[in-house]
């Protein structure tokens, strides 16, 4: 079994090295205050992106039941002029911009924490074109 060497320097950086292991085997932690993330805490790491268009409905509240933050992408069209996207995460409203032209497509991106509720909607006469989630 190889040994791991932990060293530090006057800058406060910490280096972990496994000198008996071939290849790249050194990790240097910066001299900074803060919190490090595990790879399963990083959006997109170990997650897949899939279409949920057939199983999602505008105006319905969903819950992120995963242990990871997810990203929701929605594309909506509207047959009326000047509609506004009406979205929320945990009840906090996120309103988008409007276009004076009917038939315009709108895109929405939500970053949803674990256990949070989310809803995507639009006033007027909206039609869901596409709903994709990275989860």
Residue-wise pLDDT tens digits, 109-129: 999 999 999 999 999 999 999
Whether residues 27 and 47 share a domain: the answer is no
The C-alpha R_g of the chain, in whole angstroms, comes to 22
Domain count, the chain: 2
Single pTM value for the model: 0.74
**90 CB-side CA count, 13 A:** 7
**Is residue 52 located within the same domain as residue 29?**
no
Tokens of 134: 């990275």
The range of the structural domain enclosing residue 11 comes to: 1-36
22 and 49 belong to one structural domain: no
CA angle 86, 87, 93 (to 5 degrees): 90
* pLDDT tens-digit map of 68-98: 999 999 999 999 988 999 999 999 999 787 7
What CATH number does residue 122 fall under? 2.60.120
Kindly state whether residues 126 and 77 are assigned to the same domain: yes
Shared domain for 120 and 64, answered yes or no, is yes
């Amino acid at each position: 079994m190889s040994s791991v060497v932990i060293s530090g320097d006057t800058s406060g950086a910490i280096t972990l090295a496994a000198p008996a292991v071939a290849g790249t085997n050194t990790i240097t932690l910066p001299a900074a205050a803060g919190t490090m993330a595990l790879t399963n805490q990083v959006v997109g790491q170990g997650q897949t992106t899939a279409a949920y268009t057939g199983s999602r409905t505008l105006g319905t509240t969903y819950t992120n039941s995963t242990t990871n933050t997810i990203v929701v992408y929605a594309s909506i069209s509207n047959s009326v002029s000047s509609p506004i996207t009406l979205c929320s995460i945990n009840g906090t409203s996120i309103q988008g911009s409007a276009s004076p032209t009917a038939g315009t497509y709108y895109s929405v991106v939500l970053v949803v924490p674990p256990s949070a509720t989310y809803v995507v909607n639009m006033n007027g006469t909206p039609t869901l074109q596409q709903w994709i989630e990275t989860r």
